[in-house]
Amino acid sequence: MENKYELVVVIINNGFTDLVMEGARAAGARGGTVLHARGTTNHDNEKFFGISLQSDKEMVLIIVEKELKDAVMKEVYKKAGLSTKGQGIAFTMPVEDVVGIITSNDTVKGLED
């Protein structure tokens, strides 16, 4: 069975999740979940790249239909990528099963389907 969904994970500096969600929604995502996190900084990298690395992070988890993944990633990176104050990074992972989310057809995907 082919995966219909992808999980977009964005790790961003604390306080910049609105930028992530602005980009994701512009590309068709419905919403996301924010988790508070703490990064582990490599001080050698900080000196080498000349950027300020913030240890307080937020992770934004966004489940999207597979066909929206590339557009969501592109918009999120434009709004909140490494060249912004949010200094976000993003990656995706396949999602095998999903229940309880609203799809682009405005139907609730649940166990009864």
Is the pLDDT higher at 109 or at 20? 20
This prediction has a pTM of 0.79
Partners of 89 in beta bridges: 11
Percent of the chain whose pLDDT exceeds 90: 61
Angle at 7 between CA 5 and CA 8, to 5 degrees: 130
Q: In what order do the strands lie in the sheet with 89-95?
A: 33-38, 56-65, 5-13, 89-95
Residues in the chain: 113
* Distance (Å, whole) CA 90 – CA 77: 8
Q: What is the pLDDT of residue 39?
A: 77
| pLDDT digits 0-9 by tens, 58-93 | 999 999 999 999 999 999 999 999 999 999 999 999
Q: Given CA atoms 71, 69, 79, 31 in this order, what sign does their dihedral have?
A: positive
What topology is assigned to 5-109 in CATH? Alpha-Beta Plaits (3.30.70)
| pLDDT digits 0-9 by tens, 8-51 | 999 999 999 999 999 999 999 999 999 999 877 666 655 555 55
